[in-house]
Structure 1
């Protein structure tokens, strides 16, 4: 089986997405991998190689705002609904994927929960890392002191221009501190994106769209539906951004096959805990292979 990770560009929703692929020419089921902030699709390379060796077709996009050709202006272009529609459109673009497996970390997990909610008929299995069901997270943000403390940075992200300047200063010094201990190739890949002011604005617009834009007919609220899709959820008990309250509440929304794994780990699971995550995700997808 093919272990080569390629960089390819695919068009979807009128945008051009730079994607990592592995085994896409094979005949197996499709898996789409969604990175978080401030990351890129490079975090999935080892897992993609593992799954491609098993015959799966693997696609990991640099998502809207992260790809040079997928950076529309305006906060309204970065709603969860718009971001989720990109994922389904990409599945349609690569073909032979009426249904697919989905894996996401951090913001990629938040978008994944939206995909599972809005397009449940398209998803075979769902593996979420770090971030719980969106309704559970929103409840914790409003009601749990620990979660509010962990989310204070979001208020800075609501300001115009301020976070772009802070994150870009001194060649992305603040981001480099956040990435301390990461593989250097990860950091270099991230810097290709975050050295661009336009990219910083677009990626921060995910936060602005989620926390500032009002619900309207063009972008109605995402329903807080129960999840019947087979779901794996992995969370680190020392997560810098996600507290336990939302994680525990998230369990109550799971109505199908569900596996929860709590690790003695932090937020960056694919950077520092990749072996256990790869093992668990691979086993879960194999269990739910169509």
Structure 2
């Protein structure tokens, strides 16, 4: 069942058929045809995570396009795990541009959405004219597949590894504790080392005592809770289950990103900064904000100001 989101006058969604699936897409600034910007959410999130950026970008003259990517919201949730590999995820965004008759666009990503945007620029560089990514820096393709590497470093209980080694287990735990998990996840200043950090997602789902201050009110939280009660977590977690497959798919791809790029870090984020980012993204600017992982929701004004100021450099 499709539910209308009314918080902050969030735009209504449309269901569009592209790339063999259906995507739920929110739009603003339709009058700004010809100046597209696509916002890509992370895990475990929703297009609603961009609620503060959508009106600001539309007011600034952008046609704002915000999909719930496959596995999320009211978008399709294919059963096959491989349907969530990086080829499918980036092809969805290419097909989205084709749907709107755009040759290219500015792409903004947060968390897993940032990973998709980084790889979109590698796999379809002609469709990306600028990149703004939040929280998750470019992931260097090392000598070993990512899950294999993480298991050797962090052990089998690290949640990336757990998702892959024990399919269905985390999915069920998160679904059985949907509200508690999201309430505990969307908080400021999560500690750098919560108990049993490898089991972070499971701990957040089961924890009775929150780890920090909330970043949203109950009304906004209810949008995420309702969405995941409807969709479940299997599709979203399947993105993780393709990491080693993605490593192989990217084997022969030029790893250098040439587009102008803004990387926004949260200084309190558990994800470390990538000190050699400019080696792979030479046309780079970096901004650090005093917040945790959920940058655009924790500091919406500062995020909007950073994005708009950086984009304005190219409009003079």
Q: Please state which band the TM-score falls in when normalised by the shorter chain.
A: 0.7 to 0.9
Q: How many residues were matched structurally?
A: 277
Deviation of the 1:138 alpha carbon: 9.0
Deviation of the 1:237 alpha carbon: 2.3
Runs (4 or more) in structure 1 with deviation over 6 Å come to 136-139, 141-145
1:189 maps to 2:223: yes
Equivalent residues in 2 for 1:128-207 (5 A)?
128-135=133-140, 148=154, 152-158=158-164, 159-180=166-187, 181-183=214-216, 184-196=218-230, 199-207=232-240
Contact kept in structure 2, 1:24 and 1:59, CA below 8 Å: no
Residue 264 of structure 2 is matched in structure 1 by 234
* CA-to-aligned-CA distance 1:123-145 (integer Å, 9 cap, x gap): 12100101111217999x78899
Residue 193 of structure 2 is matched in structure 1 by none
1:106 maps to 2:111: yes
Residue 87 of structure 2 is matched in structure 1 by 81
Structure 2 unpaired stretches of 5+: 1-8, 188-213
> Which deviates more from structure 2 when the two are superposed, residues 50-59 or residues 179-188?
179-188
CA spacing shift, 1:186–1:148, aligned 2, 3 Å: farther
1:9 maps to 2:35: no
> TM-score, normalized by length of structure 2?
0.79
> Which deviates more from structure 2 when the two are superposed, residues 170-179 or residues 60-69?
170-179
Residue 255 of structure 1 is matched in structure 2 by 282
* CA-to-aligned-CA distance 1:36-95 (integer Å, 9 cap, x gap): 001101121221211111221000000010043411111100001210110111111122
Contact kept in structure 2, 1:164 and 1:200, CA below 8 Å: yes
Q: CA RMSD in A?
A: 2.8
CA spacing shift, 1:130–1:27, aligned 2, 3 Å: same
> TM-score, normalized by length of structure 1?
0.86
1:58 maps to 2:85: no
Give the distance between the partners of 2:17 and 2:311, measured in 1 at CA.
Answer: 27
Deviation of the 1:289 alpha carbon: 4.3
Structure 1 unpaired stretches of 5+: none
Give the distance between the partners of 1:152 and 1:170, measured in 2 at CA.
Answer: 19
* CA-to-aligned-CA distance 1:138-173 (integer Å, 9 cap, x gap): 99x78899x959x92212212111111111224442
